[in-house]
Structure 1
Amino acid sequence: MTEDGAPREASGRAGVTSTRTSVEGEILRGAVRAFERAGLGFCVLNSYADYPERIGSDVDAVAEDPARLPRLLSESRNATLVQAARTRAAAATYYVLCRWHEGRPRFLTLHVGADCRRHGRVFLRAEEFLEDSRPFEFFRVPSPAPEFAAYLVKKVHQGSLEESRARRLGELYREDPAGCGRYLRRLLPAAEACLVAEAAEGGDWGPVRARMARLRGAMSGRVDWERPLEVLLNSLGDHWKRLQNAVRPPGLMVAVLGVDGAGKSTVMAALERDLGPAFWSTKQYHGRALESPLRWTKRVREQRRRRDAEIEAEAGRSQKKPRDPHAKSLRGLGLSLVKLGAWWADFTFLGYVLDVHPRLRRSGLVLFDRYYQDLLVDPRRHRYGGPLWLARFAGRFFPRPDLVILLDAAPEVLYARKREVSLRETTRQREAYLDLVRKIPNGRVVDASRSPREVAAQVEKLILDHMSERTARRLGL
């Protein structure tokens, strides 16, 4: 955008450098330079008006040979490639690039495909975008007609057309009515093509919004009729990629452990805030170890605690007391074994299978405050009265996090922060955690005696290093 808010023209801007480039814009600039040096055709598809000063959630783009992108991004040393996840609907890949800036990670997401595709159906191919592309800032963008067509396909298949998106379609159509008309006649039957053309010319997109489902069916049906074998093969390939995501989810599951007072909640809040842009979603799970996110008993207990607190407040006896996690007695052997089995079934099926794994499959970040290891370190907290060897054995069958991070500090520091248990018990738990996490191949120990920002930055670096190594290994880099 210009200073007065008007859209910048794509033509005549080759070589122009913005004076207000964002960190994300600098990452994009480095990636584009790497592609140009390698002679790879690359074109940003839409929503680029504010680049490079301000870049939104991701950069939609097309490349003539997307298979070359991972190596070029990895070798450019412009930013670290930490994630590569394929989207099934568009058959494109999200490449997440990271650069540290002022002590925090910053991310740019490139959503790159070889064509304009939706659910196995190819509507436009890469060469249609690249052959008549125009310079804009330091990258190239499509000419108005293919950009109009691709943007229309995207919004119709999403089933929504916000006013700002409709205005952009109108702007593109008015730049090249003849070219856009040719694409409309290719994508849609005559009546539907006229409907969209009239909306683009007159600015009234209400009739188009009312017929989104019909337009989507017409677009898809035309491709199904013209290229049925291609659609079938593409759909099979998309399902294969989906199966690969189920076996090797692109998301990340991290368990944060530590004695009370280590700062787990503070660090997890920082992780969710700082690392969120690298994932499609984030979710935290709090509470005692093994508690499924779908357990209804947790809601019942919380309601009971709130009710008791309200009663005490009305009676004038409301006074915050230190919580003693060891106040309740241990369960008997039989009940402990039943509870251990129930925990496993509850977490594995209701928790992991139905909630956690789908998030990981969709490239989500899942953070656990406490995990199964807490039961082994502090069985009294969970009232487990069975043999520890059996608990260790059962732990082998629980879903394993990608990373287990222990926030560690001197016992005196931990005890000074939170005095729910004695210093002696704090010391014992700390030693037990260290012994346990050091035996886990993916266990990491972080010094939690430093400032919360320093601790969070160290944990974030561990997570991003792990993601970078995993991505390089999966891509064969």
Structure 2
Amino acid sequence: METSTDRRAFLGRFRNALNSGEYALLKHVVGSLEQGEQGSDVDVLVPRERVPELIQFVKSDEAVARVRVVALSYMSTLKVFFRDGGFLMIDFIHRFIRKSLIYLDARDLLRSADGAFERTPSVDRAFEYPFLFSLLNGADLPEKYRRHVLGLSPEDQRLVLSRINERYGLSASHVSELFLFDEARRRRVIAAILRRPENRPTQRVFRLGSYALDVLTRARRENRGIVVTFYGADGSGKSTILEDVARELRERYRKRVVILRHRPGLLPILSAFIHGKAEAEARSMARLPRTGKNRSRLSSLARFAYYFSDYAVGQWVVFAKHSLRGDIVLYDRYFLDFVVDAKRSNIRLSPRFVSAFGSLLATPAFNFLLYAPPDVVRQRKQELAIEDIEELTAGYRREFERLKARKPDCVFMAVENLDRSQTVARIMGTLVEAL
């Protein structure tokens, strides 16, 4: 992942803006904001009244291209997109709430914050937040916080351990005992939190209403799952570019990515009924493309009906399982392969006939055709003849032009894949508008 100079410069200016008022950096274990990893986010505890001014500062910074804001009852999340392609997620937190439970005193933590350069909570409170956040979510403490705590002086480790044991009724003898999730410990910690005055039942009931609104807000503003397809002849670089795009989405933009091959995959390939799934997939990988021997129209209709049912039902499963959760689904080939290259699936049917069924399926939001001069494609993979490469590329182009006219809300883009980094940059430049 390339370093964003805009992001680094912005973080220096952002620190200056923070220093004009009260705040505390949370989960901060590096020397300065600029030294954080490119994919890391920034969590800041601030008084609620500071949030609007800080959001405005971020939006107006010279390096920022656009900002997506999701405002919840206890924090505001900013997705910051920089002009050079960099990305940063900022959480402005003003209350520590999980569902209806206040698990930390924000004012106490703010009062403990110190530092002339960057303000962080006192060492014992600095650990308490990631410890509770991980434990209440049923997870182990992330590795970087473990390393940080183990690097503290023995005296500071004792301070951390003493605070956690005393406040939550635990009896750990060393800080390392707090690193791994333990259900019994989680129950004991929740019991201690529930005994606090701010978590009386009547108060928690009112907070449940805010929690319900937060869930709806996240679903409406944040969970924007999209489906992306990649097409091209063998040797065009689909799989390589798809993996690069998936890595960018995961590491830079913190998105969950699901990669599917050709179909939703509810049904196995037909040969699995004879050879078993594992052997059938191995045989399919070993066999050269477009070498099936089927010549029967009836057999082709049966095969197509079988695979089409996977698309027809599977699209809704993918929608419910992934898109509603905000996942990015990347397909290495999709339904257009049956229109342009049905021979690959051992099907001999009219492209017009197959295309008619495609209109019954939801159209993916983003569709990319990768191509290169036939001799270049042939050098990468010797599986197809030059004439086949030309025929397939022309077929994909025709379908892209046809669908571009019929589906103006969807993207159909042909990208010449000669330079790997430039190809990824062009695709990401298109996708980022939907994130």
Q: TM tier, shorter chain?
A: 0.7 to 0.9
Give the C-alpha shift of residue 433 in structure 1.
Answer: 1.5
- In structure 1, distance between residues paired with 2:206 and 2:25: 25
Partner of 1:398: 361
State the percentage of identical aligned residues: 19
| TM-score, normalised with respect to structure 1 | 0.69
Partner of 2:136: 157
Greater shift, 422-431 or 123-132, is seen at: 123-132
SS at the partner of 1:140? coil
SS at the partner of 1:393? helix
- In structure 1, distance between residues paired with 2:67 and 2:378: 37
Return the letter of the residue paired with 1:283.
Answer: V
Partner of 2:120: 141
Query: For this pair of structures, how many residues does the alignment match?
Result: 407
1:34-49 → structure 2 map (5 Å cutoff): 42-49=23-30
Return the letter of the residue paired with 2:342.
Answer: P
Cα deviation digits, residues 323-342 of structure 1 (max 9, x gap): 24143325525x54554444
Match of 1:303 among 249, 266, 279: 279
Partner of 1:62: 45
2:168 paired with 1:216: no
Give the C-alpha shift of residue 44 in structure 1.
Answer: 1.8
Return the letter of the residue paired with 1:93.
Answer: T
- In structure 1, distance between residues paired with 2:302 and 2:94: 54
Return the letter of the residue paired with 1:367.
Answer: L
Distance 1:69 1:331, change over 3 A: farther
8 Å CA contact 1:279–1:364 kept in 2: the answer is no
Cα deviation digits, residues 369-416 of structure 1 (max 9, x gap): 111122222222233444544433332332332311111233444344
- In structure 2, distance between residues paired with 1:170 and 1:358: 48
Match of 2:424 among 456, 461, 471: 456
Distance 1:356 1:83, change over 3 A: farther
Partner of 2:156: 171
1:98-113 → structure 2 map (5 Å cutoff): 98=82, 100=84, 106-113=86-93
8 Å CA contact 1:133–1:141 kept in 2: the answer is yes
8 Å CA contact 2:294–2:348 kept in 1: the answer is no
SS at the partner of 2:96? strand
- In structure 2, distance between residues paired with 1:301 and 1:444: 34
- In structure 2, distance between residues paired with 1:369 and 1:161: 34
- In structure 2, distance between residues paired with 1:280 and 1:91: 20
1:375-394 → structure 2 map (5 Å cutoff): 375-394=338-357
1:431-446 → structure 2 map (5 Å cutoff): 431-438=394-401, 439-440=403-404, 441=408, 442-446=411-415
Distance 1:164 1:382, change over 3 A: same
- In structure 2, distance between residues paired with 1:256 and 1:192: 56
1:327-476 → structure 2 map (5 Å cutoff): 327-333=292-298, 336-349=300-313, 351-355=314-318, 357-438=320-401, 439-440=403-404, 441=408, 442-448=411-417, 450-464=418-432, 466-467=433-434
Greater shift, 163-172 or 451-460, is seen at: 163-172
Match of 1:235 among 211, 226, 234: 211
Return the letter of the residue paired with 1:329.
Answer: N
Match of 1:283 among 254, 258, 272: 258
Partner of 1:117: 97
SS at the partner of 2:413? strand
Return the letter of the residue paired with 2:156.
Answer: E
8 Å CA contact 2:124–2:156 kept in 1: the answer is no
- In structure 2, distance between residues paired with 1:323 and 1:86: 52
SS at the partner of 1:141? coil
| TM-score, normalised with respect to structure 2 | 0.74
Greater shift, 70-79 or 90-99, is seen at: 90-99
Structure 1 unaligned spans of 5+: 1-20, 185-190, 310-319, 472-477
1:250-265 → structure 2 map (5 Å cutoff): 250-265=224-239
Distance 1:410 1:45, change over 3 A: same
Partner of 2:61: 76
SS at the partner of 2:258? strand
SS at the partner of 1:366? strand
Match of 1:323 among 278, 288, 296: 288
Match of 1:28 among 8, 11, 15: 11
8 Å CA contact 2:139–2:181 kept in 1: the answer is no
- In structure 1, distance between residues paired with 2:367 and 2:283: 36
Return the letter of the residue paired with 1:383.
Answer: N
